[in-house]
A and B are shown apart, each in its own frame.
Chain A
């Protein structure tokens, strides 16, 4: 009888924590799967933008209006760098495809485009997503072309 009781005491002392320990061992860890789920939602990358001459006056007008609402806080029309680079000459430095993606798909550009990454290092502020549609971005480019003296 005495021996049995001692055995019970020992068992309880030794294994009393079994359940708790097991619980800790089973606590889930963050898996690669989970981390991969944290994807950034990108827009669709644009691969072709058609430019025509002469410039489209309606597009220029719309482009200027969008510039004044959503762009001019950070970009000047001359060569001055404000938050971002000045727009003077931008259509000579960049292709229309690059500009369109920078305006509408900035996340994907900052992820893989070396020039865009370099700009971020210089300006230290991500080019913001300003909720501009593809059509609106085309108008902005038309306005940029006019700013660069095209006709």
Chain B
């Protein structure tokens, strides 16, 4: 008998050994790994990924571009943070992009991606992302993959419920996560939260043609925390839905005090009605200081404008515009299905997923099925608005995306899994573990009216042992799953940086053929552009020295400069005369308290240098440009402040060079 147990345990042991010793990466057991995973994610040399995934950079303040299904990082787009790799936030032209009402800020915490849509379908024009710490929204061109605009949000703290957009990209929103007193009367006791703090929700209009943003209006709602949001689609397209927490209106020990109530709210905003009230003159201009920074692709420069007032709408003057939907408990995600019929609340402390019906909400509003009010805003009756609850879905639901086949996939942070369920029947179909503790998830087209399905990416919050260890600080863990079949199958782990909060993926065909390759020299309107080597020169204006410089494989013009003095402020205005794709030149000067410039073909960028030492200082091209790249360098001579060394410059035309040439010619 004993022998038998011994043998059985040996058999189980052997099973365990055979299972763990053969799995590919060494992490946890991978029974959920697809057998043909390698083929499914293999993008052969010379071929391209099927989808672009535009991925939030999280606390690196940037945006990554990742190809799917390979998981390869193709580019990091600098947005809210300085990026020494290409001079973003260091060059004179890009510094204004990081200006705010607080002055220049070198960093932010970027959170959510919103890709522009037409009729709630991806149109491949722009990506938007929010800065959470110093509230801002940025717009990135999906042709140049460059940040073109950043707008700051006044009266706001923690711009988390942002930048989600309406069906035709009419608006991006910015709901404040930390309610604050209005900026102009902000010196109040923290304990006066209920009287003085407001939950501002900003609607940022987006120009149809140019994408240009402007704060159209701010809703002055009660002081609660706005977490996430989604616009309606189709029949619900005039509405916007915002999840809330801290309806307790606490201001200290939030993890306890903001989790008291069984239900918080989803705020439903009829934004078309808000526009009508605005047109009727119900808006009120209030003080509010914010920066609006715009990049110009013709002058290759940014301008920053400070604006000092903002239009506000008080819900007390605007009936039938806002309704609260009770939602259990501290809801995080607030996601609208592709048809616009259902709103999925994900109560991160709740044991169910409540699904609300837009039609029922309309009926409840019509019949005034209210359950009291909150600070003057009607609360709709939970049961009257509810389509149904998904029972026992998992622990800690956070976000939901849609597969386009009538199903939703919800991420569960606490139970670390993805759960697929049918929206209509509210039945769970499938679940698959994630490694570890998934936060956001992303299905190509998943938040739009036309999901492409095929894959879901889990953006996990914990990495632990998924990759070779790299000390206490680890890369972030993303995982790609195949969702084309009945069972979700794990295909690939890939690392990302900065803790991405959310990503959106779209078919590469929407973008790849309209990508900018060069800046045409003929269209370069930079005020300091030098469009011919014959125009290169050095000009002194008092203590300022302006160097009009050009680059081409492989020399600078001029490359010998003398007559610079200590205390001068030197500006190198470097124009790259190349006109072929993928031929940037870099620029760096020894001892400069600056990053490099990386100048794209046909572009002009400016490098500020305040020489700190007397002597001859080399500068060089940092981007390997040709077989003679090592020779692409120059010298600039710095003399004492009182020196008489005259300003002079040249390229290959010094008397010594002329003499050498004459000798070589003989």
Contact = CB atoms under 8 A, between A and B. Distances in A.
Nearest to A79: B665
B444 to A, nearest CB: 23
B21 A72 contact: no
Contact of B580 (A20, A83, A129): A129
B18 interface: yes
A54 interface: no
B42 A27 contact: yes
Given A2-B7, A27-B38, A72-B533, A34 B44 contact: yes
A124 B627 contact: yes
A9 B14 contact: yes
B270 to A, nearest CB: 50
A10 to B, nearest CB: 9
Interface in B19-35: 19, 21-24, 35
Contact of A72 (B22, B534, B578): B534
Contacts of A114: none
Interface residues of A, number: 39
Contacts of A34: 44-47
Interface string A99-140: 000000000000000000000000011101111100000000
B44 A31 contact: yes
Interface string A3-43: 00110110011001101100100111011001101100000
Interface in B570-618: 577-580, 583
Contacts of B38: 23, 26-28
A68 B535 CA distance: 9
Contacts of B626: 124-126
A16 B534 contact: no
Interface of A is mostly: loop
B579 A16 contact: no
A28 B47 CA distance: 14
Given A1-B4, A28-B39, A30-B45, A16 B583 contact: no
Nearest to A11: B14
A68 B42 contact: no
Contacts of B14: 9, 12-13, 16
A146 interface: no
Contact of A70 (B24, B45, B521): B521
B109 to A, nearest CB: 39
Interface residues of B, number: 49
Interface stretch (B212-220, B222-230, B551-559): B551-559
B550 interface: yes
A95 interface: no
B8 interface: yes
B86 to A, nearest CB: 21
Nearest to A132: B579
Contacts of A130: 578-580
B520 interface: yes
Contacts of A125: 553-554, 626-628
Nearest to B23: A20
A27 B17 CA distance: 24
B36 A37 contact: no
Contact of B42 (A17, A28, A80): A28
A128 B553 contact: yes
A124 B15 CA distance: 62
A27 B44 CA distance: 11
B36 A26 contact: yes
Contact of B554 (A12, A17, A72, A83): A83
B518 interface: yes
Interface centre among A12, A13, A26, by most chain B C-beta atoms within 10 angstroms, is A12
Given A12-B15, A16-B19, A73-B577, A28 B532 contact: no
B35 A23 contact: yes
A55 B399 CA distance: 71
Interchain residue pairs A-B with the least CB separation, the first 3: A16-B18, A38-B46, A131-B579
Given A2-B3, A68-B532, A131-B520, 15 more contacts: A9-B14, A16-B21, A19-B35, A20-B22, A23-B38, A26-B38, A27-B42, A69-B531, A73-B552, A73-B555, A74-B553, A125-B626, A130-B578, A130-B579, A131-B580
Interface of A: 1-2, 5-6, 8-9, 12-13, 16-17, 19-20, 23, 26-28, 30-31, 34-35, 37-38, 68-70, 72-74, 80, 82-83, 124-126, 128-132
